[in-house]
Structure 1
Amino acid sequence: MIQDFCCPEYECCRACPRHCGINRNIGERGFCGETAELRIAWAGLHFGEEPPVTGAGGSGTIFITGCNLRCAFCQNFQISQHGMGAAVTVETFTGICLRLQAAGAENINIVTGSHAIPALCIGLREAKRKGLTIPVVWNSSAYETVPELEALAGLVDGWLPDLKTLDSSTALRIFAAPDYPERACTAIGAMSVLSPLLITDSDERYPFGKMLSGVIVRHLALPGKLQDSKAVLQWFAHKLKHKALLSLMTQYTPVAANPQARKITAFENRLLNESEDLHLKTFLDDLNIDDGFYQELVCDQDWLPDFNRVQTFSSSLSKPLWHWKEGWISPLPSFPISI
């Protein structure tokens, strides 16, 4: 077992709202399925995030193995639920961050790290000590506690939290977390306090500006659950309008290989239709939400990732740098980097 990331917080784990209380330092696994090892599935430049995050150079994305939810439609189920990934040392994590920076990444984008906050704090501190200067973005489900988010203060600059639902019955059935609505709303509120919205002015290189600080709240509209989406949008309009950006996504795609998909009815497990798309746009207009992004409806499933492949995402969306099976992929920079 790679011991670099063992830390006192894992001895009776309270790293997320599950409060499993197990000792991850000796190899015990709680709901997230992970020990004290930090495991990564893929790292590279990603061009599919919101424009202020993707920027001109792409987002330096690092996918963390494990998850504290069981989303029945998770497109990344191979790493969130099936454990795909390889353990890394602090040195390797730091090297990934610095080489993403050298490759032109606009930021370091940590995906699904909620269950590994103690380890990631260690890794990010070391990366910054070794020369990481680009912003760090926290990309999560928002199923997190305020003390753990506060531990990331000074390490994370921007936040990309999901707000999946405000309905506890939906949260129980589809995400295996009936307390998700309360936890996520509290967490997102804390994020907005930790990082006030700061986006540079637009120019030719950054038509939508570049995010230096702040929160982009993401909501994936679920087929057959438009009232859930309306409730989320109302909450955003009341709590965060003009303080954060909204990203309303319509990319829900059935993932037949996800074993949790049996929790979703046939009516729900489908692509959104044009009528639902129109209703979502109407909700936005009625609430006067115009700060953010709306994903145009595209009936396409070709973008689904496969973490077995080095080119996990389509080549138009990403450039791999590190893969859990192969290690380093892209040629290393010709100039020296201190790691």
Structure 2
Amino acid sequence: MFAMMESARLEALHLAQDPVTGLRAIIAIHSSRLGPALGGCRYLAYADTDSAVRDAIQLARGMSYKAALAGLAQGGGKAVIIRPAHVDNRGALFEAFGRMIESLGGAYITAVDSGTSSADMDCIAQHTRHVTSTTAAGDPSPHTAMGVYAGIRSTALVRFGSADLDGLRVAVQGLGHVGFALAEQLAAAGVELLVSDLDAGRVQLAVEQLGARAVAPEALLGSPCDILAPCGLGGVLDAQTVAGLQCAAVAGAANNQLATGEIADELDARGILYAPDYVINSGGLIYVALQHRGEGLPAITAHLAQIGLRLNELYAHAQAEKCSPARVADRLAERLLYGT
């Protein structure tokens, strides 16, 4: 475990359990150099504890990089609650998690993520103020989608010479809160939509409301398109899937899209432009961070507008250096975090 922490340059790893509620939680704090660690809480089933710990560590690192490049005075953290096979009282479980967060004295601020909701954050808020994306604070998903949409336009400008998306074919993998909101914006821009999700109901909704074409989940990554937008869970791009891609660019909302860092180089070698995930999907983090600090919507909207500009900057550096934008983004984030 310490080897994993050292490899990721993780500051702290906190584990807690509560037999009464079934809580088994992990909080990974990657960095607090720029401010208190902020990151969502996942509530998912895991094959084993090691898998949950690895997920929390990897995601916390990504949050540090995301906050740094977004210009936020926040560090990066992530929480994982291992979802039990059966839970008697979900509210009580999240209240117990709230007490865990409070015990850290403000070192970590939580928010919604995969498997959690604003209602869960409301339960946490009964025991700590170090929580955002509650019912009162609002859902960050639309803001994530707004940032990804802006990033797709920047990506199209670099790859196709125009930010006008009308007529482009975009494949959206995953129609959760962010993926569906993104699909709505793309459809309004005249995009030809290909969509997939494990939830057939979400796919049908996109077909009926947005005019999307449904594609089987196992076939979407290899479908011919202009831009692929992964918007589900991470790790979808590995050596095998990259070899089968038929797109000109990858720009989506999912965290940790690359199975390994080397995959960025494989995309670059194939001439596929990659929008670093923690840059293009930073809209949700921007929203929860600024909202938690009491900033109003105009300030948040102005900050969201910087996502496309940041991507343009990364693409220009990558082109000049003849390397992947992901490599450039990592170097810039590490310079801000470590001064290297």
Q: Shorter chain as normaliser: what TM range?
A: 0.3 to 0.5
The structure in which a higher percent of residues are helix is: 2
Query: TM-score scaled by structure 1?
Result: 0.33
